[in-house]
Amino acid sequence: MKIMNCPLNGPRNISEFAYGGDVRPVPNDDADPKAWADYLYMKTNQPGIAVEWWIHVPTSYWFMAERDLRTDEILATYPPKLPATGATP
């Protein structure tokens, strides 16, 4: 089982965490429906470094993780950085 380093609680078994999806810029509320459709349903699914939301379940603590999708290596974790940019589709 992988270890993930929680910015609040330190290294823990990954079973203590849940994945929360890619960090991506959220369209404006009045954005074109196409922009929303892209945001909601178009995932790039490309190899590379992904910036993702993760939550430490016992503390309900959300943070961000950078993960190499080719090797599944977790490169870094840190408290949420804003504005959320992440990988653009």
Partner 1 sequence: MASSSLRRSFLRVPLNKIGATWADLASAEIAALIPGENASAPVVLRDLSTMPRTGFKGADSPAWLEARGVVLPPAPNLATKQADGSLVARLAPAEFLILGALNGDSAATDRLDSAWTIDSAGFCFQLPRRDSHAWLHLSGDKVTAMFAKICGVDLRTKAFANLAIAQTSVARLSAIVIRDDLGNIPSYHLLADSASAIYLWESLEDAMKEFSGSIAGYSSLPAP
Partner 2 sequence: MSGSRLPAPWGQRIDRGQSVTFSFEGRSYAGYCGDTIASALAANGQWVLSRSFKYHRPRGMISAAGLEANTMVHCGDEPNVLADRHPIAPGLVVCAQNTFGGIDRDYGRLMELFTRFLPVGFYYRTFFTPKIAWRFWEPVIRKLAGLGAVNVEAHHGYFDKAYLFADVAVIGGGPAGMAAAISAGRSGAEVILIDENVVLGGALTYARLDVTGRQAEEERLKLEAEIASLSNITVLTGASVQGWFTDNWLPVIQGNRLFKLRAKAVVTATGAAEQPLVFRHNDLPGIMFGTAAQRLMRHYAVKPGERAVVVVANNDGYGVALDLLDAGVEVAALLDLRASPPVDAVAAAAQSRGVRVITGSAVKEAIEGRSGRVRAVKIAPVLGEGLLGASSETIDCDLVCISVGYIPQTALLSHADAKLVPDPQTAMPRIETLPAHLFVAGSVAGRWALAATLADGARAGLVAAADAGVEGITIPAAIPADGHGLTWSWPIFPHHKGKEFVDFDEDLQYHDIPDAAALGYDHIQLLKRFSTAGMGPTQGKITNTLIQRVLARATGASPDLVGTTTVRPPIGGEKIGHLAGRSFDPIRLTAMHHRHLQAGASMMPAGAWMRPAYYGDDQAAAITAEVAAARTSVGLIDVSTLGGLDVRGPDAAAFLERIYTWNYANLAVGRVRYLLMLNEGGYIIDDGIAARLHEQHYYVTATTSGVDQVYRLMLWFNAQWRMKVDIANVTAAYAGVNLIGPKSRDVLSGLCTDIDLSSEAFPYLGIRTGTVAGISARVMRVGFGGELGYEIHVPAGQGEALWDALTDAGEPMGLRPVGIEAQRVLRLEKGHVIIGQDTDSLTHPKEAGMSWAIGRKKPRFVGRAAMLAMEAKPQTRQLVGFELADPEGPMPKESHLVIDDCKSGGKEIVGRVTSVTRSPTLKKPIGLAFVPPEKAAPGSTFQIKVEAGRMITATVVPIPFYDPENRRQEI
Q: Interface residues with partner 1 (CB under 8 A)? A: 8-10, 12-13, 15-16, 56-59, 61
Centre a 10 Å sphere on the Cβ of residue 63 and count the other Cβ atoms it contains. Answer: 21
Q: Which amino acid is at 27?
A: P
Radius of gyration of the chain (CA): 14
CB of 62 to partner 1, least distance (A): 12
Show contacts with partner 2 in window 58-87 (CB under 8 A).
60, 62, 72, 80, 82, 84
User: Binding partner of residue 47 among partner 1, partner 2, none, CB under 5 to 8 Å per kind?
Assistant: none
Please give the span between the terminal C-alpha atoms of the chain, in angstroms, as a whole number: 30
